[in-house]
Structure 1
């Protein structure tokens, strides 16, 4: 009986560690020819965009910005960028644990 209880406890411990929040990052490179003024990174299951992660900064053409994402259970995010002309570039269901982004005019919404 003790073995069953220990095995059950071990199983619960292992499964609870699988759903712990993790830290992720994504490198976003701007190759649009324009300056990017806004960058929104939200969990894919969110119904709204999170705050602008650039804040007062901008992402110049040719530059790369690393965005650190902490405290989420899933590495799947939606990413939206807005340039100086208010054109947007939206990427859906990006797995930031395996994928970085290079934004070009081909990604224009």
Structure 2
């Protein structure tokens, strides 16, 4: 009986360690010809956008911004950028563990 209880506890511990949160990052390069004022990154499973990650900063044309995403268990994120003309560029279900983003006018919503 004790061995069975120990095995159940061990299996629960292993299962919980598989869902451990990880840190991810994505490099976003602006090649739109415009300044980007807002950057929203949300988990792919989210139904709303999280806070603007640029805050009072901007992403000038030609610049790259590294975004660190901590505490998530899945590398898939939705990314929305908004430029100085209020045009938006949205990338859905991006695997940030495998790819970075280069934003061009081809990505205009």
Say whether the fold is shared (TM-score over 0.5): yes
Deviations 1:2-45 (A, max 9, x none): 55444433322221111121111110000111110000001111
Q: Give 4+ residue runs of structure 1 displaced > 6 Å after superposition.
A: none
- TM-score normalised according to structure 1 size: 0.91
Matched, 1:31 2:58: no
Is there any run of 5+ residues in structure 2 with no aligned partner, and where?
none
Paired residues, number:
109
In the alignment, what sits opposite 1:58? Answer: 58
Is there any run of 5+ residues in structure 1 with no aligned partner, and where?
none
- TM-score normalised according to structure 2 size: 0.91
Matched, 1:87 2:50: no
SS of aligned partner of 2:93: strand
In the alignment, what sits opposite 1:20? Answer: 20
